Chains A and B, each alone.
Chain A
Amino acid sequence: MSHNKRTGEIHVPVLARVEGEGALDIRIQAGRIEELRLRIFEPPRLFEKLLEGRSTQDVIDSVARICGICPVAYQMSAVTAIESILGVTPTPWVEAMRRVMYCGEWLQSHSLHIHLLAAPDFLGYDSAPAMARDYPDEVRRGLRLQGLGNEIIGTFGGRSVHPVGICPGGFFHAPDAATMQALRERLTEGLDEARELIAWVASLPLPEDDQDFVSVSLRHAHDYPITAGRIVSDQGLDIAPEDFEQHFREFQVPYSTALHAQLDGHPYLVGPLARINNNLDRLPADLKRLLDDCGVHFPSRNMFHSIVARAVEIHVALGEALRLTEDYDPAAEPHVETPAQAGIGFGCTEAPRGILWHRYALDEQARVLEAQIVPPTSQNQARMEEDLAASLTRLGLERDDDALRLHGEMVIRNYDPCISCATHFLDFHATRD
């Protein structure tokens, strides 16, 4: 093996601190990456088939089980599609409270990712409990924010993992005013912690690694996009969710149980960085000022700024939850009745990891004929492979295996891949011939 024209293989057989099971294999030939595979081997659970014949409520209760970390996102994309088929428009109260509940999931998922999965990398620890010995206040602040997110979800859904509150037409249950008041007090405290979190995350030693990529997200007429909007890119795409299949294509690669996706034949990015890149003008003014002072500038081409984008979105989530519950009054009727009706409908919402697209065909009894689900992690797979090849080459392929492996895992964690969602997890292998 030559020292500067390296040849060989690197394997990461189990990627730590990601959700689900996957691996990374790299083959290096004469100092160049010849093959790079983000191998996802988590067994598929075939949700699209097991939904067939099920009622709309069964769909909402089933799709939560695709992902323990973002069940609310699955329920919201599904209920949006279902209501469009049934011809039901939820009340403004329901729309507002669904957005609050979704904010809870962003808060929970982003806090978990920042503190338990990503931050230990930048500070040289292998886990959050290890990091907590030296950064006790920061880790505890993160766990509190995560807990607050879970509390919001539980307020509307009874529990934070696989909540039970959503039904076609609205919610089964409206939280009472006293519960909401108590929650709002803790959200207000959380908002101060979110400001400190943004400053802390922006001060972490994040690598410089600018790359070209296409950012894809929802865009809403006036809000930062969460539960609704058109699908846009920073390259001029602007389509309704029902036109998704005309531009985006899912395809299978032999080494992954998660389907890959391309936009007009090219990889693209979804998730917090893409959202913030496309929706800077939808951030509240005070948050924009805070961002200007923190030294990280958006739109950003550096995927390592994803962790900052997550911290910013934690602030967005808390701010929105407070704004939407300011004059909270429990709805006497938290849901409207829904007729059974046949048809085809689409739902696209911003899961913590990016756009989550659903399509359903229902029969005249409103039972599922066909279901199609495109999760964010499958959409990011091709972009992750492209990023890994560029980022590892820039780091220097002559570095030792451990350095390449660690950097590779850090790059992957920027995307917060949810492999259980995409079907699936991470194991790193590099071969040098």
Chain B
Amino acid sequence: MTNENHRARIAVHKFSSCDGCQLAFLNLGEPLLTLAETVDILHFAEAGPIDEEAEVDIAFVEGSVATSQDAARLRGIRERSRFLVTIGACATAGGIQALRNLHDTDVWVSGVYAQPEHIDLLADSTPIAETVKVDLELWGCPVSGEQVLGATKALLAGHLPRIDHSAVCMECKRQQAVCVMVAQGRPCMGPVTSTGCGAICPRWQRDCYACYGPAVQANVSALATHLADAGMPADEVARRLLFINGHAEPFRGEGLDWQARVIQRSGSEGEQG
């Protein structure tokens, strides 16, 4: 991609998000200065450069599509970028704010704002890939410096990085972390969640809450049944699945299924009563 005439050009764009995935760049330390010497960072508002219209080799996109303006802006970015890379749960799966997709957004907006008519918000928060073609998705809430730097290096060398989407359980074994589900009976999402975080939660003696999204071939239904058999009420099983990556399949479908069981059961209890 780079040749004598042309230094690689990079942009970092923001949509609806917490800015935490851009920090994967800003927290790099010395490698941030090296990166800035190696490539041209043409748009990265939080770091300084602003040129949203710039043509780039790699556009990193943080955040989800959330307002009436976002889709048009995103299509422009897509047209001007050779590779488009989503960073984080918001851009890749709609983010925690996609929980509103399961509710009446107008009611929620009215619950926060006295004059909801001034708020431009779509009913659903959606991942970037529902609007434009995405070349590479980096999962995680948040993504890490290694992920963004690794992707940058691979793409600049002309290939997509190989990303391990095996379950957090595999990472726990590699790290020799004690299983919090077996040893402590914690409702760990590790069996169905993609690794990438380094199995932080189990190593911190707590259950994984699925911030890196679904693992490859995740058997979510079996895990949900196991949690219910272990005594977790159906509504809690649903909330476990419908969280930070709740808009991503198979979490979404399985979560809605467990939510429906709550509604059915309370309905039949009502008839009995």
Binding site for B on A (CB under 8 A): 14-21, 41-46, 48-50, 53-55, 58, 61-62, 65-69, 71, 108, 112, 116-117, 120, 126-130, 132, 139-140, 143-144, 146-147, 150, 157-162, 164-165, 167, 172-173, 251-252, 254-255, 257, 259, 418, 420, 425
Given A65-B96, A68-B23, A161-B20 in contact, is the A49-B14 Cβ separation under 8 Å?
no
Q: Contact at B16–A42, with CB atoms within 8 Å?
A: yes
Cβ-defined partner of A143 (8 Å) among B30, B47, B108: B30
What number of B residues sit within 8 Å (CB to CB) of A? 63
Residues of chain B with a CB closer than 8 A to A254's CB? 115, 118
For the complex, is B211 an interface residue (Cβ under 8 Å from A)?
A: yes
Given A49-B108, A62-B96, A143-B30 in contact, is the A120-B206 Cβ separation under 8 Å?
no
Interface of B, helix, strand, loop or mixed by DSSP: loop
Residues of chain B with a CB closer than 8 A to A128's CB? 47-48
Q: How many Å lie between the Cα of A45 and that of B65 in the bound state?
A: 11
For the complex, is B183 an interface residue (Cβ under 8 Å from A)?
A: no
User: How far is the CB of A389 from the nearest CB of chain B, in Å?
Assistant: 22
Given A16-B45, A143-B30 in contact, is the A67-B19 Cβ separation under 8 Å?
yes
For the complex, is B251 an interface residue (Cβ under 8 Å from A)?
A: no
For the complex, is B56 an interface residue (Cβ under 8 Å from A)?
A: no
Given A173-B205, A252-B115 in contact, is the A58-B19 Cβ separation under 8 Å?
no
Within 8 A of A (CB), among B117-169: 118-121, 125, 141-142, 144
Q: How many Å lie between the Cα of A127 and that of B200 in the bound state?
A: 33
For the complex, is B197 an interface residue (Cβ under 8 Å from A)?
A: yes
Q: Contact at A21–B100, with CB atoms within 8 Å?
A: no
User: How far is the CB of A343 from the nearest CB of chain B, in Å?
Assistant: 21
Q: Contact at A20–B206, with CB atoms within 8 Å?
A: no
Q: How many Å lie between the Cα of A45 and that of B20 in the bound state?
A: 15
Q: How many Å lie between the Cα of A95 and that of B197 in the bound state?
A: 27
Using CB atoms, name the residue of chain B closest to A259: B113
User: How far is the CB of A164 from the nearest CB of chain B, in Å?
Assistant: 5
User: How far is the CB of A178 from the nearest CB of chain B, in Å?
Assistant: 16
For the complex, is B228 an interface residue (Cβ under 8 Å from A)?
A: no
Q: Contact at B200–A158, with CB atoms within 8 Å?
A: yes
Q: Contact at B211–A162, with CB atoms within 8 Å?
A: yes
Using CB atoms, name the residue of chain B closest to A370: B111
User: How far is the CB of A107 from the nearest CB of chain B, in Å?
Assistant: 12
Q: How many Å lie between the Cα of A44 and that of B14 in the bound state?
A: 14
Using CB atoms, name the residue of chain A closest to B244: A65
Q: How many Å lie between the Cα of A53 and that of B233 in the bound state?
A: 14
Within 8 A of A (CB), among B1-55: 14, 16-24, 26-27, 29-30, 32-33, 36-37, 41, 45-50, 52
User: How far is the CB of A423 from the nearest CB of chain B, in Å?
Assistant: 9
User: How far is the CB of B7 from the nearest CB of chain A, in Å?
Assistant: 14
Residues of chain A with a CB closer than 8 A to B29's CB? 143-144, 146-147
Interface centre among A49, A144, A146, A251 (most CB of B within 10 A): A49
Q: Contact at A164–B50, with CB atoms within 8 Å?
A: no
Q: Contact at B119–A71, with CB atoms within 8 Å?
A: no
Q: Contact at A16–B19, with CB atoms within 8 Å?
A: no
Residues of chain B with a CB closer than 8 A to A161's CB? 20, 23-24, 27, 142
